[in-house]
A = this chain, B = another copy of it.
Amino acid sequence: MSLPTTAPVASDTLRGPRALAPALDVAALAAHVPVLKRKLRAGQYLYRSGQAFNALYVVHAGFLRTSIVTDDGREQITGFPMRGDLLGVEAIGAGAHVSDAIALDDCDIVELPYPAVMTACLASPELQGMFTAALAREIRRDREWLLALGTLTAEQRVATFLLDVAARHAALGFSGAHFVLRMSRVDIGSFLALKHETVTRALSNLTAQGIIAVERRDVRVLDAPRLQASSRGADAPLHRAA
């Protein structure tokens, strides 16, 4: 059960929905804004829906979970931020936070006071460009998941999710072929609009096909190309038909 030396996951073959562009440059921001550090223990909230909105956050270490709830009780997880990811932007202009962010791990968070960050962006075109691009990237990310939920089957969604997690891990220098999921099956299901049993079944199927190896939250990608194929819409369009 050691790390496999074969079948490494080439990062260019891992194109999940998330665009893997560099995140907000905290160092550049720190030159203009007084950034605060915050530590969270697993299970603690970074912010909750309805709370006053007075800061954005960048994850420095650890893993979180963001979710929204409606007044009629429907709930959905909107993402699993990790190092480099920006949180809280959806609250801009809304006065209060409109989502929850909870730590799945112990986390180190960088706090960017709002609206101080905006003032800093006024002073620096680079910062402004970085910030605006980060917002636009968030929109693209959402659209891509919207498309995934709207067009993919359960197993394809789970495969896409695994590829996304793998790619993000790889982008941070971790292994994309072997990682530990920080969230439960229920969380994955909520994110992918599936029931937790369905997530389990999809993982079991992928395991049965020899594409991945799953043991609780420990996941190994054994065959990245086939995982890619499993995430695709139509069955493996290897070459575009005439």
Contacts and interface: CB of A to CB of B under 8 A. Distances in A.
A213 interface: no
A64 to B, nearest CB: 16
A143 B93 CA distance: 15
Interface of A: 21, 68, 70, 72-76, 78, 89-94, 98-99, 115, 118-119, 121-122, 125, 128-129, 131-140, 142-147, 149-152, 190, 193, 232-234, 237
Nearest to A231: B72
B90 A140 contact: yes
A70 B231 CA distance: 12
Contact of A136 (B68, B94, B140, B232): B94
Given A73-B233, A125-B122, A146 B146 contact: yes
A193 B118 contact: no
B118 A129 contact: yes
B193 A151 contact: yes
Nearest to A152: B74
Nearest to A236: B72
- Among the interface residues A89, A133, A143, A149, which one has the most CB atoms of the partner chain B within 10 A? A143
Contacts of A133: 92-93
Nearest to A135: B135
A147 B76 contact: yes
